[in-house]
Amino acid sequence: MSLWHATPAPPLPALQGRQEADLLVIGGGFAGLSTALHAAEAGLSVIVLEAHLIAHGASGRNAGFVVPNFAKVDPEQITHRPLVDMAAGSADLVFDLIRRHAIPCDAVQSGWIQPSHSDAALARAASRVRQWSALGRPAELLTKAQVTEMTGVPGWKGGWIDRSGGVVNPVAYARGLAQAAIRAGVRIHETSAVTALAPGWRATTAQGEVQARRVVLATNAYGHLWPGLDRSFFPLRVFQVATQPLPLSIRQRLLPGGQCVSDTRRNLFTFRFDAANRLISGGMHVISWGADRRVPQTIHRRLMRVLDLPDLPPLEHAWSGLASVMPDFLPRVVELAPGLLAGFACNGRGIALSTAMGRELASWAAGRDAGDLAIPRQRAKPLPLHALSRLAPNMLLPLSQLRDWADTRGG
């Protein structure tokens, strides 16, 4: 169980019997809940069906970093300008929703810092700052001294910050979106896995059925409902850990401003604190056998080393989740059939981007043409040799580590 799910919430009732709605949303993560909330605010009748509990999937297993950009691609590489604008405003959208609906989720819009591990990465940071600043974003280049002062960690070459980013408790945020949606009239059913979806549209669960004009499939890497869709992305398992709470003295040295940090290494190094001063970080495995036991300890050792914390308290929570990853790390909206859209692949940016994607999907449900959305509509395209290529992000990790090491030696 993730740190965030350790605090229970009252369950929502399973679907019973037959219901109708303008829009059916399948999946109760950020994408589905944001779609439902925005669609209800646009005047639609909406039902959400979630197979397990709200935020059972990646939305309940992430690190809570709110990051308003793309993992690999910069604005000038994207020809579809509305997609860039959507990402640019996505963290502001999250924090605005939190304020507007008074969602208690330990949200702090303190900024997201990306330290540069090499001179080449610092040059890319300068270019990123130029591109996002040109769009009016609060992006700033940071010197080596500034990064050391803000993170409490020496060794990076410099970096940049987007001050519209920040941190949340992701499960509390998702539950808050669900409550806001319910207040707006949405009917949300947990423990209601859709087992069949027939044109018309008619969705079947163990104890009920929903008839809807339009359907949004927001099942991300956790769904296998639509044949072939799960071959159109890589399901990447990512591990997260949270230590026991750290003493205040350390908290005053590390990240005194309360930001979240993801550096530029290919074998990404991330850290943040939660509201109780637990240190949170993540990592990946190469070999899945024994990974649940091994990887959290590897992350713990890396935290001790990089943050110079020889007395780091032990882990209190360790968990993993599946992210749906595209080779270009860009989100996807796929038209599976008339009246049926799937939205997924917000990768490591899903808190901000899935929330923003949900607003787009809601506008489609309210009548906007799918071709006019900020995320260009596509057809589902199975990735070549998926059974093998899906292993690539894990198998390439040692090579990434080697290249990171070579980068730091070179510059």
Ligand X SMILES: Cc1cc2nc3c(=O)[nH]c(=O)nc-3n(C[C@H](O)[C@H](O)[C@H](O)COP(=O)(O)OP(=O)(O)OC[C@H]3O[C@@H](n4cnc5c(N)ncnc54)[C@H](O)[C@@H]3O)c2cc1C
Q: Which is nearer to ligand X, 69 or 363 (CB)?
A: 69
Q: Which is nearer to ligand X, 28 or 158 (CB)?
A: 28
C-beta of 309: minimal distance to ligand X in Å? 21
C-beta of 298: minimal distance to ligand X in Å? 15
- Candidates 22-30, 84-92, 286-294, 361-369: pick the segment binding ligand X (CB under 6 A): 22-30
| 29 part of the interface to ligand X, by CB under 6 A | yes
Quote the tokens at residue 344: 């997924």
Whole-angstrom Cα distance, residue 237 to residue 125?
Answer: 27
C-beta of 354: minimal distance to ligand X in Å? 4
Quote the tokens at residue 381: 């395209």
Minimal CB distance residue for ligand X: 350
Q: How many residues sit close enough to ligand X to count as binding (CB under 6 A)?
A: 44
Whole-angstrom Cα distance, residue 329 to residue 348?
Answer: 9
Whole-angstrom Cα distance, residue 370 to residue 346?
Answer: 18
Instruction: Name which of residues 257 to 286 contact ligand X (CB under 6 A).
Output: 282
3, 23, 24, 31: residue in contact with ligand X (rule CB under 6 A)? 31
Whole-angstrom Cα distance, residue 173 to residue 264?
Answer: 27
- Do β-strands 46-49 and 187-189 pair in parallel, antiparallel, or remain unpaired? parallel
| 51 part of the interface to ligand X, by CB under 6 A | yes
From the CB of residue 138, how many other CB atoms can be counted at a distance below 10 Å? 15
Q: Which is nearer to ligand X, 64 or 393 (CB)?
A: 64
Please give the C-alpha separations between residue 14 and each of 34, 131, 381, in angstroms, as whole numbers: 20, 47, 33
4, 65, 226, 273: residue in contact with ligand X (rule CB under 6 A)? 65
| 153 part of the interface to ligand X, by CB under 6 A | no
Residue 273 per-residue DSSP state: E
4, 5, 21, 27: residue in contact with ligand X (rule CB under 6 A)? 27
Cα dihedral across residues 280, 284, 285, 290: positive or negative: positive
Residues 6+ apart with CB under 8 A from 76: 131
* CA–centroid distance for 393 within its chain: 17
Instruction: Name which of residues 321 to 360 contact ligand X (CB under 6 A).
Output: 321-323, 344, 346-352, 354
| 69 part of the interface to ligand X, by CB under 6 A | no
In 3D space, the residue among 310, 275, 315, 313 whose CA is nearest the CA of residue 297 turns out to be 315
| 220 part of the interface to ligand X, by CB under 6 A | yes
Using CB under 6 A, list all residues that contact ligand X. Answer: 26-32, 49-52, 56-59, 61-65, 67, 193-194, 218-220, 222-223, 225, 238, 240, 282, 321-323, 344, 346-352, 354
